Structure 1
Amino acid sequence: MTDMDSLIGATIRVDGNLLFRGGMRIDGKVFGNVVAEAGHASYLVIGENARIEGEVRCDHLVVNGEIKGSVISTALLEIQPKARIIGDVCYKVLEMHGGAQVLGQLTHRDSSGVEPLLVVSGA
């Protein structure tokens, strides 16, 4: 899934929770939880200058900005070089690039009992 249905632009500030379906990109600031609607595939991109203060929950998450709060990715979590996550992270598959920062606990979650897949990219 790569289609972006919604965009929070760089000059936008949201005070409150966001519930979304499909693809969303955030380049602005969100002070509230960002959660994908259950039962629908979701893809969320957090841009380099974006900032979220709240929980983030979706299937496929790409982070290159800052999140202060817990992160739950039920499919693939990509933490890019300029990303900074301050909070606990739950993931199924994790790809973390050199330079990325996570200040919290990383926990693998997979109902199938399969061992975690961790992909580390060079700097």
Structure 2
Amino acid sequence: MFDRDKERIRRAQRAGQVDTLIGEKVVIRGDIHFSGGLYLAGRVHGSISAQDPGAILTLAESGLVEGEVRAPVVVINGELRGDVHASERVELASNARVLGNIHYKVVEMAAGAAISGRLLHAETQQLHAVPEAEHAPDRPLRLNTAAA
């Protein structure tokens, strides 16, 4: 069952499937949660997040997002004002303009793309994370602070 789902996701990503189209004259004020392929040529004032492990967000040249984006694959050719969190891949086309940090696993950037923020590799962030305590002690620790 899971193998079929993974293969379906791979085929959709290769095909660039678009399930939802937001046209140039559309302005959305609020958050968007999507599955599949979302092609955005309009404006969104709010966050965008994917609920599907095979989801693809494509921001067209005329598109504008003012808010955080979270999706496995993010293709940008417009303007994005906010952080990008891509669990798989970020593609920055020649007209991409990002004002925010990009958290990525793989990044592809064309000549002409502009970023005003930081590129943060996902695996590097995990290496520098502070590990949490695995088990809390059953009783408080007593330290001997008396001078020896």
TM-score by length of 1: 0.87
The answer to whether 1:79 aligns with 2:88 is no
Give the number of the structure whose residues are more often strand, by fraction: 1
Residue 52 of structure 1: which of 65, 75, 81 is its match? 65
The structure with more radius of gyration: 2
Q: CA deviation at 1:41?
A: 1.4
1:43-102 CA distance string (max 9 Å, x none)? 110000100000011011110000000001111100000000000110000000110000
Give the gaps of 5 or more residues in structure 1.
114-123
Give the gaps of 5 or more residues in structure 2.
1-12, 127-148
Aligned length: 112
- Large movers: runs of 4+ above 3 Å: none
Identity among equivalent pairs (%): 35
* Higher RCO (C-alpha under 8 Å, 6+ residues apart): 1
Q: Secondary structure at the match of 2:123?
A: coil
Give the number of the structure whose residues are more often helix, by fraction: 2
Q: Please tell me the root mean square deviation across aligned C-alpha atoms, in Å.
A: 1.6
In structure 2, how many angstroms separate the alpha carbons of the residues matched to 1:18 and 1:59? 15
